[in-house]
Amino acid sequence: MEFPEDFNQLELLNTHGHLIPRGASSLWTGSRDEEEEVEEEEGDHSDEWYIEKEETLKDKPKVLILWAAENNRLSTVHRLLTADPLLVHCCDEDGYTPLHRAAYSGHVAVVSALIGAGSKVNPRTIDGWTPLHSACRWSRVTVASFLLQHGAELNAQTNGGLTPLHLAASNTTPFSTDSPHTLELLLSQRHLNPGLRSGSGETASEVARRTGPHHVLFEMVQDCVNVVPFS
- CATH label of the domain that carries residue 76: 1.25.40.20
Confidence of residue 113 (pLDDT cuts 50, 70, 90): very high
The closest of 75, 64, 129 to 103, measured between CA atoms, is: 129
Are 82 and 131 in a shared domain?
no
pLDDT (0 to 100) of residue 42: 46
Answer with the one of 120, 149, 175 that is the final residue of a domain: 120
Other Cβ atoms closer than 10 A to 220: 13
Domain-located, residue 154: yes
The domain total for the chain is 2
Confidence of residue 43 (pLDDT cuts 50, 70, 90): low
Give the Cα separation of 61 and 83 in Å (integer). Answer: 10
Q: What mean pLDDT comes out for the span 203-209?
A: 92
Give the Cα separation of 186 and 164 in Å (integer). Answer: 8
The DSSP call for residue 135 is: H
pLDDT (0 to 100) of residue 127: 98
Residue type at position 35: E
Confidence of residue 173 (pLDDT cuts 50, 70, 90): low
What sign results for the dihedral spanned by CA atoms 73, 65, 116, 84?
positive
Q: What mean pLDDT comes out for the span 117-135?
A: 99
User: Which residue range forms the structural domain that includes residue 82?
Assistant: 49-120
pLDDT (0 to 100) of residue 223: 58
Task: Name the CA dihedral angle for 8, 202, 123, 182, rounded to a multiple of 10 degrees.
Answer: -100
**DSSP string covering 47-93, please?**
HHHHHHHHHHTTT-HHHHHHHHHHTT-HHHHHHHHHH-GGGGG---T
